[in-house]
Structure 1
Amino acid sequence: MKVLFVTSEHPENQFGGLGSFTRDYVKELKKTVEVVAVYLHYSSEIPPEPGGAIDYVLVPEKKFPSVSIEGNILETAASF
């Protein structure tokens, strides 16, 4: 089995628990299945390097202004 795990909170920068969940869950999954973990970096800070639980760091580029959740999703998709 192959698993693609995508998160918007890096395990090293914990805000609401998603980062620690990502770190622990991916670590356990990797014991039994092939896992690729992708972190979507939305912050204006310098993105972290891949490592630990995260295999890839993707930084979406702003293509157009958005003011809604749906707009943010479309903007992110347009940047790849």
Structure 2
Amino acid sequence: MKSRKKNKSFHAQSQQIKIKKTEIKNDQKIYQIGQLTSIQAFKYDGTLYRQYEGCKIVANLDDFVVVLLMKTKVQEADINW
């Protein structure tokens, strides 16, 4: 007969998850603020939707990157603007 582990409270489980996330977390930032980069956006089926060239990195946070798209070249299928 298998022994079952005692159910933990939600708080205990969430603390355990936080500990695992901090162990895995890597503080390496890929982009530098002010750097120009390209962004590719894909549709739900995996096909390329749009490509933005010349995006400027404004902020680089832990969860996301903020970009400026002013005067950025946009390409979509057969359309450029």
Per residue, is there more strand in 1 or in 2? 2
- Return the TM-score normalized by structure 2: 0.22
TM-score (norm 1): 0.22
Give 1 or 2: higher helix fraction. Answer: 1
